[in-house]
Amino acid sequence: MTGLYFHIPFCAKKCPYCDFFSVPYHKETTSQYVASIIRNLAAYAPEDTVDTVYFGGGTPSLLSAAQIGDILNACAKYAHLSENTEITLEFNPTGERTQYLRDLRKVGINRLSIGTQSFSDAQLSLLGRTHRAADGIRTVMTAYEQGFYNISCDLMLACPHQSEIILSETLNTLANLPITHVSAYLLQVEEGTPLSRNTDLLAALPDDDASVDRYLQAVQTLAEYGFRQYEVSSFAKSGFESRHNMKYWKCEPFLGIGAGAHSCYGGKRFAVPKDVAAFCNSRIQPTEIIDDAPCQAQEKLMLALRMTSGAALSELSVNALKVLPRLRNAGYVTVYDDDRVSLTPKGFAVSNAVISMLLE
């Protein structure tokens, strides 16, 4: 089973904290871009059955429902889509988009990942988002009314001035919406972003201790509402884990199409250069090999340990087993079913260090 990922690198406005690849939206470029995606699908759609399709960005919801429909038709035409393919679109919650949502549902999108980020207007404006809390709520409600029963919301943690109370209000709002999934990210200051130069905002960021307090608060509150943590930043109602994202952590194949898209496919990891024109003008997208022998034991272990399912003890080295009791006593990992190890929420907060010890 293979996943298909489409990178739609267009944004109406770049968020000040974001360092993902995106370019300003141009209607003409998008149609060329969609044409190029379809060309690529025709050229080398996976032979294996495809069971997940994911439109990521950028802002995929800037494409028209017709364009998305064209891409999905091409998928159906050139690839073998499984019967219950999970088809996700990242959706930016701005404006009144009832018709658009209805059309998306019609062309085949069955899962939405909505960039709500927060349900506090003050927080949203600090983050430089153009939407308001009410827009987020309305988008979710409308989507639900239009037949989306698998909705994920993004949540940003450890934002400037984000107190326990502010976060708690956001979490309560979020958890009462008809959604099945939450992606909760700790805000990270990336070099070169406007946020990294905004000294006022930087000064208002919670310190490491407070950041992790927010993270643990989110983990706990979400659990109370039935969203079980299954990965460092991912939470879902039972059975609604993102099948597409799980492929990343399980070293399962996925093919990425679009400028800046990554793939782990055909025994290689490769990426398409972050160049929209180059992508549009090539018959087949140019790629750069990142790793020609991916998914070795070390890498699998590193990725598996990001999930709450963790790894089998038998996959750990002797050195790792030696440090295991200390990690366990400190509450960073648990051993369950006698033979599996997984990180606790406290362990996820320091997962770089914990995983690097377990990889030794």
Partner 1 sequence: MDSQKIRNFCIIAHIDHGKSTLADRILEKTETVAQRDMEQQILDNMDLERERGITIKARAVRLNYRAQDGELYTFNLIDTPGHVDFNYEVSRSLAACEGAILVVDASQGIEAQTLANTYLAIEHDLEVVPVVNKIDLPSADPERVCDEVENVIGIPAMDAPRISAKMGTNVEAVLEKIVSDIPAPVGDPDAPLKALIFDSYYDSYKGVIIYVRVKDGTVKVGDTIRLMATGSEFVVTETGYMSPSSLINTGTLVAGEVGYIAASIKSIGDTQVGDTVTLAENPCEEALPGYRKVNPMVFSGIYPADGAKYGDLRDALEKLQLNDAALTFEPETSIALGFGFRCGFLGLLHMEIIQERLEREYNLDLITTAPSVIYKVTLTDGTVQYIDNPTNYPDPSLLASAEEPMVKADILVPSEFVGNIMDLCQDRRGTFKDMQYLDDTRVTLKYELPLNEIVYDFFDALKSRTRGYASFDYELMGYAPSKLVKLDILLNGDIVDALSFIVHADKAYPRARKIAEKLKDNIPRQLFEVPIQAAVGGKIIARETVKAMRKDVLAKCYGGDITRKKKLLEKQKEGKKRMRQLGTVEVPQEAFMSVLKLDE
Interaction between residue 205 and partner 1 (CB under 8 A): no
- CA–CA separation, 294 vs 10, rounded Å? 29
By beta-carbon proximity to partner 1, the closer residue of 20 and 44 is 20
Least Å from the CB of residue 207 to partner 1 = 9
Nearer to partner 1, 25 or 248 (CB): 248
Which is closer to partner 1, CB of 45 or CB of 101?
45
The reply to whether 167 sits near partner 1 by the rule CB under 8 A is no
Asked if residue 36 binds partner 1 (CB under 8 A), the reply is no
If binding is defined by CB under 8 A, does position 327 make contact with partner 1? Answer: yes
- For residue 102, give every residue at least 6 positions away whose Cβ sits within 8 Å of its Cβ, in sequence order, or none: 146, 147
Q: Is 143 in the site for partner 1 (CB under 8 A)?
A: no
Among 189, 271, 278, 313, which residue interacts with partner 1 (rule: CB under 8 A)?
A: 271
Angle at 51 between CA 137 and CA 6, to 5 degrees: 65
| Nearer to partner 1 (CB atom), residue 62 or residue 186 | 186
Q: Is 264 in the site for partner 1 (CB under 8 A)?
A: yes
Residue listed under structure tokens 């140019």: 286
Check if the beta carbon of residue 41 is closer than 8 Å to that of residue 153.
Answer: no
- Distance in Å, CB of 275 to partner 1, minimum: 16
How far apart CA 284 and CA 278 sit, in angstroms, is: 10
- Residue in 248, 275, 300, 315 binding partner 1, rule: CB under 8 A: 248
Give the CA angle between residues 144, 145, 147 to the nearest 5°: 65
Identify which range of 59-67, 109-117, 191-199, 299-307 contacts partner 1 by CB under 8 A: 299-307
Q: Which of 186, 189, 205, 313 binds partner 1 (CB under 8 A)?
A: 186
- Using a 10 angstrom Cβ sphere, with 0-12 exposed, 13-18 middle and 19 or more buried, the burial of residue 135 is buried
Q: Are the C-beta atoms of residues 109 and 91 closer than 8 Å to each other?
A: no
CA distances from residue 125 to 100, 173, 201 in whole angstroms, order as listed? 25, 18, 12
Nearer to partner 1, 39 or 262 (CB): 262
Q: Which stretch binds partner 1 (CB under 8 A): 41-49, 112-120, 125-133, 182-190?
A: 182-190
**Does residue number 290 form part of the binding site for partner 1 (CB under 8 A)?**
yes
Q: Find the binder of partner 1 among 83, 209, 288, 338 (CB under 8 A).
A: 209
Q: How many residues can be counted in the chain?
A: 360
* Count of residues engaged in binding partner 1, rule: CB under 8 A: 46
Nearest to 222 by CA among 210, 211, 234, 212: 234
Out of 188, 281, 317, 319, the only residue in the binding site for partner 1 (CB under 8 A) is 188
Q: Which range binds partner 1 by CB under 8 A, 37-45, 80-88, 258-266, 275-283?
A: 258-266
Decide: is 62 part of the binding site for partner 1 (CB under 8 A). Answer: no
Looking at the DSSP bridge assignments, the partners of residue 153 are: 114, 182
- 301 neighbors 315 (Cβ within 8 angstroms): yes
Output the CA–CA distances (angstroms, integers) from residue 65 to 9, 68, 103, 194, 307, in the order listed.
17, 5, 6, 32, 34
E strand or H helix at 219: helix 208-224
Q: List, in sequence order, every residue forming a beta bridge with 152; answer none if it has no partner.
A: 113, 181
| Positions that interact with partner 1 (CB under 8 A) | 5, 7, 20, 54, 56, 185-186, 188, 208-209, 211-212, 215, 232-233, 245, 247-248, 254, 256, 260-264, 269, 271, 290, 299, 302-303, 326-327, 330, 332, 348-357, 359
